[in-house]
Structure formats: C-alpha cells, structure tokens
Structure 1
Amino acid sequence: MAPASLSIVALLVGAQIIYTSLRFLRNLRAAQRSGLPYTWSPVHELEAPAFITDGFLRWYYKDYLQQGKGWPRWARFMIKDWQYEDRGRATHEYGDCFLVVTFNSLMCYISDPNAASRLVTRRKAFVKPPDKMKILEPFGPNVVSVEGDLWKFHLGITLPPLAAEAVARLVWEETARQVDMMVAAWRPEDSMKERIYALTMNTMSLAGFGHQAEWGEGDRPDRVPPGHEYSLVSALTHVVSHLPHILLLPRLVLRWSPWPVAYRAANELDQYIDDMLAEERERLERGDAGEAYRENLLTAVLRSNIAAEKSKDAAAIGRTALTHEEIKGNVFIFLVAGYDTTANTALFSSLVLALHKEVQDRILQEIDAVYHRAQKAGRSELSYTDDFPQFRYLVAFMYEVMRVFPIVQTLGRVAVGEQEVPLIKGGHVVPDGSYLVVNNTAIHYNPEIWPSPEVIEPRRWLVADPHGLDPAKPLTPEQEAEIAAGSVPIPGNRRGTFLSFGEGPRACLGRSFARVEFVAIMSRMLRNYRLEMTDHDAEKAARVLRTARLRSGSGPVTLIPPEDVPMRLVPRK
C-alpha cells in the first residue's frame, strides 16, 4: 500500500506542477500578445501567498529601505503596496504601463494619468476585484463592495447622508469638542498616534452612531452598558485595530484564533448596530425627530432607506430598500473610511507641521485671520457654515500631504473582457480577467506632472494650474494674483493626476466629510498652540521625516507612518 500511496502523491504533485506551468505559459503568451513591456514574479501583491511574503519581506528589508533605493527588483511585486517605497522606479524601468506575469494571473500596473482616469471612470469595463471586495463585507454588502445596478442602488441611499449639511455640522462641532478634551488631557509621554486615533474614533462614534464619547471612555467600566463586554468606543477601537483579522478570517475561525479580542469586538459591534438600528427605526416610524445631534450617519442612512422603502419607483434590481445586513455593511464601511483616512492624514500632517516651520506659520496666519473675522461678526467660536469655506490654505495643505504621502496607494480593477488601456502615447489591449492597478505614488512623484514632486508646497493647489507651479522657482505674478484672489477651486488638478480620493463614479464618497473633519482638527488644535518635535535634535528630526518618506507602516487599509513621532503642543505667544 505504501508504494501505491507514494505513487498517487507523486502523480498529484506532478499534475499540479504541469498545470501550474501551463498556466504560467498561458499568461506569458498573453503578455507577449499585448505588446506591453512585461516581467515576471512568483507571486504578485493581490494573490493570497502575498500575505506571507509581504510581512516577511517588509521585516527583512526594513533597514535596507533606509538607503533610499526602494525594494530589490526581485522582491518588489510580492509586497503589498510596494509602490510607496518604490517611488516610480518600476515605471522608469518598464514604462507607464507594464505587465507582471505570475503562475496564476496577469497583473497590469499603470502610472499614466490618461489611462488611470479611464480605468477608474469606465466602471463596467473595469470592475473592482470581486474576491477582494467580499473581504470588505464582514458586516454585510456595502456601497464599496458591490457592482453594477446593485452599486447604483446602494449609492442612491448612502450618498445623501454623506452629503448632508446636518452631518457635516455635527462632524465640525464634535471634532472641536474632542480636540478641546484631547488638549486638556495632553501629557508629554502620550503617543501622538494614540491621541489622533482616539480623537477620530470618538468623532466617528457620534457622527456614525449617535454616541457622544468622552475622552478616555474606552477604558472606563461605567461606560459599558448591561449585556455588553465593551463600551461602544472600545468595540469600535478593537475592530479597527484588528481589521486585517476580521476582514480575512470567517467569524467562526476568528473565535478560536490567536486574536479572540477581535472576535468579541466584532460581535459586540454587531450587537450595538442591531440595537441602535432597532431603536432608531422605531423612533423614525413614530415620527420623533429628536434632537439635532441625533442626525448621524446611521440615522441618515436609515431615514433615506425608509423613504426609499415607501417610494413607488421600483429599482432596476427589483427592490427599493437596503436589507438590514446592507445597512450594517454600509455603516461599517463609513466607519473604516472615515476613521482611517482622516487619522493617518492628520498624523502625517502633524509630522510635516512640526518639521516645516514656514508651512505651519502660514496655517497659523490663516487660522488667526478666520478667527478675527468671526469675532468681528460677533462669534466667539467658528461655525461650519460661515468659517469652514475660508480655510483655503489648510485644505490645500491637506491635499499636498495626501499627494506626498498617498494615503490610498493603489486602485485595483479587473478587466471584463479584452479591454484597451488608452495611454497618452498610444494604447494596448489587456486580456480578459487581468488585474489592473493604478500606481498612485508613481503619478504623484512624476516630475513631468508635479514639478519638484518631493517638495511639500501647499500653494500648488491655490493656483489655476497646480501642475505649472514649481516650488524650485519663484511664483509668477499670475500665480501670486490667483493665490491672493482665493477663488480657484480646490482641487484643480488634471484628471488622473491625483487619486488619493479616487476619481469618477466610484470615487470616495466621504471626501467632503474628510475635509471637514481635517480642517476642524487642525484649526482647533492650532488655535492657541504650535506643534513641535519633543526632541529638538535637528538630525533626529531629519531622520524621522526621511524614514516616513522612505518606508510606510504597511497599514491594513491606508498608508500609516512607520513609527510614532514624539511631538508636543507649545502655547503660542
């Protein structure tokens, strides 16, 4: 029996080797037929084995990256979000559009603005990878994970709440309250990363779920209601900090995994959302409008859904309202997007301000000017309606930070049938089922698109042509006049050249939400303080910024700083 068993095993192994080799040859021939430059790799970043290669290679090459050479050529494509450290080197080697052939699939990397824009706007020809999108449904299908008519249906219900003035005012006011509590509780030994994460989580607690959190309440037993193990804020925090485990592992597997806290937190959040949905549905059906602060994302989605439910117009998919699971899924995706993007943008921004005095000085001047105008109008506090639109330099600063530190590094799609990839210099056809990824970092660091791309210069976004302002040269009289006039729309970049918020019909729905929260954080925090490095050692400060530019923290959703940065708030004179 033993020899027979060995023969069967050998036969199966041989069959697998032959099958894998044939698939590789098929992918190789498809790459050759496309006419695009190509290379090969055992694994690419979107394949399952990359979860192993990514962690190992990031650990092994951590010190190597400090040399500023990017990833070794043989390893780069096996690393998740390798593009940030690579800084467009692969583009220089292979071109603006090239293929990576693996044993299992074909990957197309794009750093051509024209092709990038077409890729993200042609939503039927290039769809989000279905297998990857299922991962984003631990609480239910949502506007990010679904496609086609179902996506349009989700969009119609979820977009109005995100664009609602009431929600924007809520975010503005609650962010200011949370910043005041953060500043009051500030201790020199506290972690900047933990402060910012707590601030944005507490804001999302109210904006997303209607729960007004107090500073540090996640650690207080008296904030845990009967029948729960965690407070809402604590459950939210644990879910976000264990997001990779919750997204990748089925709930049953998670229960017996090395991360039981992730399982308990996911169940707790599930229960909280169920309870709040039941309570809000009952209140809305009674016609109880409630207090203004109750109009949060959860209630707004529910209100929009109930209105759709009562509508006589049937949707293309045969129904007019989201299911209970779909409402939960959308509230969850709002949480992840609203928390992660703003928190990490604020972290990188704090680092830039602490190390670039001239940028911080301009922001402080704008903050003082806005407060002065508010006081002349008889207001001691800033309001969303009257004052948010006046923060032009601060909004420009946010966009510039997101260009230099691309919070969302890649945009992935799958070709439905053979599709042409239209490049600035001609076009090529990619095979059906090819993965396509837009390399945001290569576009953001292309000197032909963004002059002197390494330089942080928010004023790029205050002129009519952001691509015509070169920080290495003096401003032209026309540029100075445009900045002084303050009438240029932000952002005003060409299509396909800035993709941190995406572009086209599937662009980030919460970009206005993010702008409001970011401006509220910075304008409130810097009203009476400056941000400085705790350690005044200039050499150490330069090393911190160099590390942030050369190496990412490999976050599960967005780019994060590679290490915490010691900062302090210093009272302004």
Structure 2
Amino acid sequence: MLSLIAIIATFSIFCIHYALAFSRNLRAAKASGLHYEYVPVHCFGQWWLITHRIWLPLFFRLPSSWTCPWLDIVQPDWIYTDNYRPFARRGTDIFIAVSPFSNVVWVADPEAISQITSRRTDFPKPVHLYDALNIYGPNVVSTEGPTWRRHRKATSPPFTESNNHVVWAESIHQAQAALSHWADKTVLTVAEDTLRLSLHVISRAGFGVGLRWSDKTTPTNPLESEMDSSSIPEGHRLSFKAAIFTLLDHIIAVLVVPKWLLAHSPFKAHREAFESFVEWRSYMDELYQSRKRLHQAGNGGSNLDMMSALYRAAHGHTETVNANNEKMDRHTLEAPLIDENEVMGNAFVIFLAGHETAANSIHFSLLFLALNPASQRLLQKDLDHIFADRPVSEWTYEQDLPKLFNGICGAVLNEELRLVPPVISIPKCTAPGRPQPLMVNGRKVLVPGGTDIMLGAAAVHRSPKYWPAGKSSAVETDHASDLDEFNPERWVLGASGDTSSSIGHPSNTRVSEDTWLESSAREDTSAQLFRPLRGSYIPFSDGPRACLGRRFGQIEVLAVLAVFLKSHSVELAVDDFATDAEIDSMPRGGDERRKVWSKADDRARKLLRYGMGAIITLQMRKGNVPIRFVKRGEERFTLDRMSST
C-alpha cells in the first residue's frame, strides 16, 4: 500500500513539475515576440535521443491533428532532411519550440544569425553539449569565455599563412598517393579512404608526423610508421596508424561510455576502443616529450607544428615569427596558457575536427561531381586553363591556389558545403536570467534567458530568399527544388551559360596572392564568386567562434580535387548493375547505358537524402556510394545529365 502511494505521489509531483515548467517556458515564449509552438519532447534531451526510434513510428500513426505541426521538428537531423521546408510551412525564419524541459529557438534568418554569431558573450556556446569531447582534457572546442580565449591563443599559431604552404604541398602529395591506389578500379570505401587521406594531411601539416600509404620505405621515426605496416614500436600494443583509426572507428563509445566500463566490458569492440584510447594518448605523450627535448636543447620546434605550439603555451613561452616563419623574438609569458592535460585535449580535438570535416568535403564533392558530369567537365575545363600542361610538381601555392579558390574549383567546394555543411545546426544559447534582444525584419524581439538556440545551417543554405538559381541543362524546376541540386554555376557571378572563359581570373592574368590573403582573412568565399548575404552561408560558423582551421581545410580540399580531376574523371561505379564487359558492349550514349547509370544515380541520391546522419559531423551512415576514377577521355558515361530524375 505504501509503495502504491509512493508511486502515485512521485507521479503527481512529476506532473506538477512538468506543468509548471511548461507554463514558465510558454510565458517566456509569448513575451519574446517570436512565433512559437508546443512540442511534447526536448529534441536534444538525452532520453529522447536514445529512445526516439521507439516513439517516432508510433507518433507517425497518430492522427495528423494530434501531431501537427510539431512532429516535423522533433526528428533528429530534421534540419538536414527537411532543411528549409519547416520554416517555409510556418511562414517565418525564426521560431521557438516550447517544451516542458527547454525552449529551443530555431533560426534560418541571416540577420538574426549574424547578430548571434557576432555577439559572443550574449550568445555563448552551450559547452555542456561538448563535455564528451573532453576525454583527454578541455580544449578550444569545448570551452567558452576567458578559458576559450586561452585555448584559442594556444592553438592559433599553426593556423597561419606561413603554414598554408605546407598544407598545400602535403595535400598534393597525399592526393597523388591516393589516386595511385584508386585509379581504374572501383572504390568501395570512399568515405573511409578520404578520412585516411585527410588524416595524413593533418598529421603531417598540423603535427609534423608523416604517414604513408605504402610500406616501400622504412621510417626512422616510430611515429612515422607506414600506414600499411604492422610494425609496432617498443612499448606499444598498436601502431600509430592502428591507434588513431581504431579510436576514430569507436569514437562514439569512447565519448559516451565510462572508461572503466570500456576496459572491463565483455564486448571486444569496447575493449578495442579502450586500448586505442590509451595507445593514442601514449603516442601523443611521446610526441609531446620529443618537443620538450627539442625546446630544452635550444630548438623550440617549428611554429608550424601544433604540438610545438601547445608545448610552448603550456610552459609560458611564445615566439614571434616573420612571414617566412623565421624566429624574430622569443619571450616568456607571465603564466602558461594551458596545462599539460589541456595540451592533450587540444591535440585530440584538432586531430578529430581537423581531418573529419575536410574528408567529408572531399567525399561529398566527389559524389556530387560523379552525379553531375556536366559540372565535372566545367571544373576540368577550368583546371586546364589554370595548369595547362604543367606537371603537378610545378604547381605552386602562390600562383595556383588563388585561381582555384576564385574559380570553378572554389565554386564546387562552396556548393558542396552549402548542401552538406559539416555541422547542420550550430548551437548557441542565452544565459539563465539574461534575455537578449534581436532585430528581426525591422522589429525588436527578445530571446528568453536560459534558451537553447540552433542556427540552422542546412536550412538557411537552401532558403530561396537568399540564393540564386543554378544554371543547367536540366528541366526547369521551382526555385526551392533547384536549391536541393548540386550546381556550382550558381556561384559564378553574371553567369550567362557561357563559361568558356576563365572564371574569376581573366585569361593570362595572375590572381595575386594579396587577393587570396585579403579574401581569406575575412570571408569563406571568394570576392570573385557569388558572395552570399552575411549569415546565409555558415559552413564554418561565423564571428569570433568561426572554425579555426577553415583555411586549412579549404586549401586541402581545393588541392586534392585539382589533383584528382586534372588527369582523371570520377564516375559512379555500376558494378552492382552491370559488368565491365556488359558496359563495353553497350553503345555510348545509348539507352542501355543510361538505364544502368540511372540505377546507380538513384541509389546515390537516396543515400544522400536518407542515409545521412550527424553525430559529430554530418556523414553518410547507412551505406556507401562506390565510385571509379578513369583517365580523362576514357569516361564510360558521357551525357551531360544522364539521370532520369
């Protein structure tokens, strides 16, 4: 009897608390001046994220009068799957979802986004959402306020113009190595291989650790272990390659499962995750100690090396360098910026974010180009204009990178990031008891204190209000549908359909390094391409907390795409639908080839729409799209637009 009373009392208390919390949040929403609507769950609550797959099928079976309009905004990743459409249905680009647990402001209004990102202290990052990234220690991603400023100062030295040359050279080198492995055969693991490529780049350009694709040479540094070698240095149980790749493969378990449980779990995957967690830390400790020895010997290490920069920050040292990275002055700070635990936290998060976002852009750029042969040929024509017959060994950062950034290659990257931003919704918040004013459409509104805010990158990137239509040979569609399509031409200023001339760099005219530097210091896109309204294009966020490594990533992706597409074309692999012999027997440009290609096209588009998921970054998680690199002139599918859609 007492147990029953206790249960009833507990349930009653819960219901009262639920009702009072909802009433409080509803009052705040009404006072805000924003459109608001009720949702029964907190879409970012841990309980909902874990159990939503159980409840959503049931909710979809309920009468629409019960679930309208909230059902479309409680599904995880709705901001990518539905993008701008929920905002269009509501007739507003900013609204509040009111639940008993929290209010969430969803934003696809560039004016509001620009204000929120520029007012860092008024709209801070909700750091509790990033606690899982502190597995090795606090870092530049998971901190805010004065603590974040310390981390930012500690991690910023390698992300300078002087290091961009290293990023360029290493990206070209790794792209050539990757292409030698991929050419003339079906690549089934595109996502994994691009992650590998990008990991090589961040490892060398960011940390001074060289990683290779083959085991043809014997490294002298154990940290420079061959990527295909099984050699394990003394004192380790995994090679450096195996440690980082296993850690990344099991990153979700490492982030959310207590380490003691991983270590003693009966599941092999958990034990492997824990072993990689320990081994990667051990390798980073060794790298840190090597930088310590260099510094003690009077050589502080390269300013281009992240671990050297982190060591100096942890020991109260800093250096002034000139444009050529030559040391001009060295002095001691009053106090270290970070401690050794924070060194490891930053090393981890830069490894993670520094390779995953660039890898995703390479992966999806290749898929979109394979799906759109006309855009691919447009890019190749521009690459021919930039490089002519020069071998890759003669490509230079100063001469060629600005032309890539200002041309079709830059437009391809911009368009890929528009469609598949690394982070589909960027979290901000207001502090409890500190409501913040915003100007929206000429009127003042008030974001309640203690409110979560989601800047809908995937939504504002597809809003017909802020984006031009693309130009293609496709059947005319409405503007909203057009914005779902990959079309780099929408970035070409004044495009008239004639792109035979160079884009962004007049014939025989060199785009100066100053133009690149001036643009790279302020903007995410070239001044010679379409410049979106401030706040309408936020693949790297914006304002003071914009991505620290955005220029690093842009250089890497542009260089890699240039290497791949200058000599080869990328096509959808059709092995599941026809053999090579069957394809060769089909007339070029005929219906038979069109039908085979359309099957691969349909599979790829469905995975790009329904097979995506965001954990840390947005990736394809429910399958893969195989591709094939073929030498230019040997393409098997040559129609401008072969898709039947």
State the 1:337 CA deviation.
Answer: 1.4
* Cα deviation 1:457-501 (Å, max 9, x = unaligned): 3244443xxxxx6x8xx4699x99967487795343221010011
SS state of the match for residue 97, structure 2?
Answer: strand
Q: Which of the residues 276, 279, 292 maps onto 1:265?
A: 276
Residue 396 in 1 paired to residue 422 in 2?
Answer: no
Contact 1:84 1:552 in 2 (8 A): no
Q: Residues 24 and 234 from structure 1, CA distance in 2 versus in 1: closer, same or farther, beyond 3 angstroms?
A: same
Structure 2 Cα separation of the partners of residues 171 and 545 of structure 1: 31
TM (norm. structure 2) is 0.77
Shift, 1:311, TM fit? 4.6
- Work out which of the residue numbers 564, 567, 572 in structure 1 matches 2:624: 564
Assess, with a 3 A threshold, how the Cα gap between structure 1 residues 141 and 550 changes in structure 2: closer, same or farther.
Answer: same
Change (3 A) 1:263 1:42: farther
Question: Residue 150 of structure 2 is aligned with which of 148, 153, 171?
Answer: 153
Which residue does the alignment assign to 2:309?
Answer: 300
Give 1:254 shift.
3.2
The amino acid across from 2:606 in the alignment is: T
435 and 552 in structure 1: CA distance in 2 versus 1, 3 angstrom threshold: farther
Q: In 2, distance between residues paired with 1:370 and 1:475?
A: 20
Distance 2:30 2:381 in 1: 57
For 1:496, what is the secondary structure of its paired residue?
coil
Match in the other structure for 1:68:
none
TM-score by length of 1: 0.87
CA distance in 2: counterparts of 1:528 and 1:367, whole angstroms: 10
Residue 554 in 1 paired to residue 571 in 2?
Answer: no
Query: 1:156 Cα shift?
Result: 1.7
| Aligned counterpart in structure 1 of residue 129 of structure 2, from 122, 127, 132 | 132
Pairing partner for 1:507 from 527, 535, 546: 546
Aligned match of 2:78 in 63, 78, 82?
A: 82
Count of paired positions: 544
Work out whether 1:212 is the aligned partner of 2:220: no
Q: 1:324 Cα shift?
A: 0.6
Aligned-residue offset at 1:17: 2.3
Does the CA-based 8 Å contact 2:42-2:101 persist in structure 1? no
Contact 1:115 1:422 in 2 (8 A): yes
Distance 1:545 1:72, change over 3 A: farther
**Residue identity opposite 2:547 in structure 1:** C
Report the alpha carbon displacement of residue 428 of structure 1 after superposing the two structures with TM: 1.2
Q: Hey, which of these two has a bigger chunk of helix by percent?
A: 1
- Within 5 Å, which residues of 2 pair with 1:338-417? 338-372=354-388, 374=390, 380-391=393-404, 392=406, 393-416=408-431, 417=434
Question: Percent identity at matched positions?
Answer: 28
C-alpha separation in 2, matches of 1:7 and 1:502: 52
Q: 1:362 to 1:302 in 2, by over 3 A?
A: farther
Q: In structure 2, what residue type is equivalent to 1:35?
A: G
| Partners of 1:383 and 1:19 in 2: CA distance | 64
Counterpart secondary structure, 1:131:
helix
CA distance in 1, matches of 2:340, 2:80: 38
User: Partner amino acid for 1:243?
Assistant: I
**Is 2:239 aligned against 1:222?**
no
Q: State the 1:542 CA deviation.
A: 3.2
Alignment-derived partner of residue 443 in structure 1: 460
| Shift of residue 237, structure 1, vs aligned partner | 1.5
Query: CA–CA distance in 2 between the matches of 1:174 and 1:255?
Result: 37
The one-letter amino acid of 1:85's match is T
Gaps of 5+ in 2: 62-66, 215-224, 320-329, 470-482, 520-524, 575-592, 634-645
Q: Which amino acid aligns with 2:15?
A: I
Note the C-alpha offset of 1:176: 2.4
Offset, 1:440: 1.3
- 3-state secondary structure, aligned to 2:14: helix
Aligned pair in 2 of structure 1 residues 15, 72: CA closer, same or farther (>3 Å)? closer
Paired residues of 1:143 and 1:151 also in contact (CA < 8 A): yes
Distance in structure 2 (CA, Å) of the matches to 1:481 and 1:241:
40
Partner deviation per Cα, 1:212-257 (whole Å, 9 max, x = no partner): 2222678756332122222222221222222222222332233345
